Amino acid sequence: MKFSPLLLTAPLLGLALSACNSGSNSGTANQPDLIQANLDTTVRPGDDFYRYANGAWFKNHPIPASESNWGIGKEVQNEIYVRLRQLNQEAARAKAATGTAQQKIGDFWAAGMDSAAINRQGVEPLQKELTRIRSITTVTGVQAAIARLQLLGVNALIGGYVGQDAKNSEKMALQLWQAGLGLPNRDYYFNQDARTSNIRKEYQKHLTTMFGLLGQDAATAQANTQRVLALETKLAAASRKLEALRDPYANYNKLSVAQLDELTPGLNWKPWLAEMAFAGTDTVIVGQPEFYREAGRLLRTAPLADWQAYLQWQLVHTYAPTLSQGFDEENFRFYGTVLQGAKEQRPRWKRVLDAEENAMGEALGQLFVKEYFTPATKKRYEQLTENVVASFREHIKALDWMSDTTKQKALVKLGKITRKVGYPDKWKDYSSLRIDRTSYAANVMRANEWRYRYEARKLGQPVDRTEWGMTPQTYNAYYNPSNNEIVLPAAIFAVPGLLDADADDAIIYGYAGASTIGHELTHGFDDEGSQFDEKGNLRSWWTKSDRRAFDARVKGIVRQFNGYTVLDSLHINGKATAGENIADLGGIVIGLDAFKKTEQYKKGEKIGGLTPVQRYFLGYALGWQVHQRDERLAQAILTDVHSPAQYRINGPFADVPAFYEAFGVKPGDQLYRPDSARVKIW
C-alpha cells in the first residue's frame, strides 16, 4: 500500500489530473513551475532532499488546526471534498425515489448534517444495544453480545473477516485476527517512555468521561474504567508486535472448528460462529492462536461485570462520532488531540463525507468518475502502468543475484499481475441498504451491518477477482498478494493545481510511475509479497540460494532504516517497515528506467533550470509532500508499516546512484552512503 490507512484514505473529488504529455511544460507564462516553486534552496539536496524538494511548500502550507498532518494527499482530498459536497447537496434537494442511490446519498447527508437532531437524540440510538449488554447473565450471553456487535462493526475481541485463503487463493475462508484494543496497538499498554505513559493516563481519563456520558455516576465510571484497562492489557499482552504480523507463514494457522474449540477450552465455536453470520464453516484460519487462547481464558474467568463494561465501551467508542456533541467532542479530544495532535475538529461536513465513504463509497464513486475521470484519462494511466511493468521486466532479467530459474518464475508472476486503473468495471449494489433521515447513528449502524453481511456472504463462494478494495475517490493504492493485482484509484494520479497540459513526463514518471505504480508492483516481490506465487498462493517458488541472497539485501535495508532516529529516542522499525521501504526503492529505480525511454529524457532540455532526471526525483518527492505533528509522528512509528515521509525520500534516494549524479551528492553530505553500504534489490 502506498499510504497508511491512518494517513491518507478519504473520499475523492475531481481536480486537474496529471497525464503523460511529452514536451509539455510544468510552468506557463502566468504560472510558475510547480516543482521549482516548492524548492527550499537554502537546504542542500545532498543533506535533506525532503526539505530541499518541499520546504517552500511546507512554509506556505502550515498544518491546519483541525489536522494532525498536511500534504499533497490532503490537498487532493480537499478538492474531492468540494466536489462531493456539491453532489450530496444536490442529492439532498432532489427528492429522489426511495431506494435510488441519489436518495440514499441525499438522506445520509441530511441526517449527518442535522446536528440539532443528533444532539436531541443523545445516546438513544445505542440504547437497545446497551440494554442488551447490561442484561448479560452468562458467558454464553457475553458471546452473543460480542457476535451482535461484530455485525455492527464494533471491534470487540473478535477480529473475524472473510478473505482469500493464503494457500488457496481460489477459496474464500474465515480468518480470525487479533483485535479488541482501544489503544492503537499492544505497545501503548507497555512502553514506559514519557509520551506513551502520558497517553495511558489520558486514555484512563477518556474512558471515565465516556462512561459518565453514558449516565454512570463517578464511582461506577471509575470502576468500569479499571475493568476495561485490566481486560485490554491482558489482551494486549497476548497480541503480537507490529513486525511479527508481517510473516505470512507464522500468521497462517488453519484449524478445524473442533481444533478451535480445543484451543479455547470451554467455548463452543460452532453456534458462536453462526451468530456471527458464519454458519456452516468447518475450518478457520487463525492468525495469532495465542491471542485467541487468552481471549478464551478471559471469557471463562473474567467477571461478567468486566465484560459488560468492556462491551459498553467498545460500542460507544465505535459510534461516538455519530452521537451528540459531548460524545463526539470527547472522542476527538483523545483520538484526535492526545493521540495525533490536532487542535480542533474538522468541519462536520467533511466528517459526514468520510462516514458516507465508509458506508457506500462506490455509490459516490460512480458519480465521481462520471464527472471527473474520463475514459481518455483512464487510458493514459493504463499506458503508463504498462511502461513501468516493461521496465520492471527488464530489471528482473538484468539481476546479478537471482538465478535464471527464479527469474523465469518472477517474470511469469509479473506478467500475471492484474492492473486495475481508475475505477471498477462493476459496481457494488446497495439496493438492500436502508438509509433515511431519522437518525445519523442508525444509518451508520445499518451501513456497517450491510457491509459485514456483504463480506460474510462471500464465505464458500467463488472469489470475485473483479472487486475493488478501494473506491475511485481514494488517494491511495495497493497490491493484493492473493489476487496478484495492483489497484490504482483515480484520485491517486491527481496533482493539485497542475493541469493535464502542464505536466511534463519527468514529474509524472516520478510522482505516479515510481511512487505509486512501481511501488505497488514491487510489493509483489517485497519481503512479504515475494512469498506468494503468480496465482496468489502462499508457496515457496524461489531457489533456496536466491531466497538467501534476497534476504541478505532485505537485512541491509532493515539495518539502514533502523538507524534513522525520529523524535528524540524513537527509531524507525526497520523490520516492520521493510516491505514499504523495499517498494519505495524498487519503484524509484524501475520508474527511472521507464522515464529514460521518453522523449523528454532523450532531449535532455531543462525546465525551470532543472534537468529531466532532477525533475524526475523532484516528482517522486512531490508524492511525499507531507508534514505532520509530533503526536501523529510518534503514533506512526509505533503503528505504521510505512516510514515517515521524510525517510521515504531521503532513505531510498541515498541508495540510488542516479540521485548522486543528478544532484552532485558527495562524501560529507548527510545523505551520502558509500557504495558498499547502498542497498540494491530490484
**Per-residue model confidence as pLDDT tens digits over 631-656:** 999 999 999 999 999 999 999 999 99
DSSP string, 273-332: HHHTT-TT--EEEES-HHHHHHHHHHHHHS-HHHHHHHHHHHHHHHHGGGS-HHHHHHHH
The residues facing 432 across adjacent strands are none
CA distance 278 to 271: 9
User: Tens digit of pLDDT for each residue in 140-163?
Assistant: 999 999 999 999 999 999 999 999
Question: Which structural domains are found in the chain, ordered by start?
Answer: 34-80+373-424+468-677 (3.40.390.10), 124-322 (1.10.1380.10)
CB 279 within 8 A of CB 273: yes
Rounded to an integer, what is the distance from CA 607 to the centroid of its chain? 35
CA distance 421 to 436: 33
CA distance 615 to 329: 44
Sign (positive/negative) of CA torsion 514, 83, 498, 504? positive
User: Tens digit of pLDDT for each residue in 426-469?
Assistant: 999 999 999 999 999 999 999 999 999 999 999 989 999 999 99
Check whether 529 has a pLDDT greater than 60. Answer: yes
Hey, what amino acid is at 67?
A: E
3-class secondary structure, 142: helix
Q: Residue range 251-258: average pLDDT?
A: 98
69 confidence band (pLDDT: 50, 70, 90): very high
Q: Residue range 267-281: average pLDDT?
A: 96
3-class secondary structure, 418: strand
| pLDDT at residue number 441 | 98
CA distance 539 to 166: 9
- Length of the chain as a residue count: 682
CA distance 477 to 460: 28
Rounded to an integer, what is the distance from CA 227 to the centroid of its chain? 31
User: Tens digit of pLDDT for each residue in 379-392?
Assistant: 889 999 999 999 99
- Dihedral angle over CA of 224, 227, 228, 233, nearest 10: 160
Closest among 236, 244, 155, 226 to 191, alpha carbons compared: 236
| pLDDT at residue number 436 | 97
| pLDDT at residue number 459 | 96
7 confidence band (pLDDT: 50, 70, 90): very low
The residues facing 253 across adjacent strands are 286
Q: What is the 3-state secondary structure (H, E, C) of 95-125?
A: CCCCCCHHHHHHHHHHHHHCHHHHHHHCCHH
pLDDT mean across residues, the chain: 94
Q: Of 6-15, 261-270, 327-336, 460-469, give the lowest mean pLDDT range.
A: 6-15
Closest among 312, 276, 275, 300 to 133, alpha carbons compared: 312
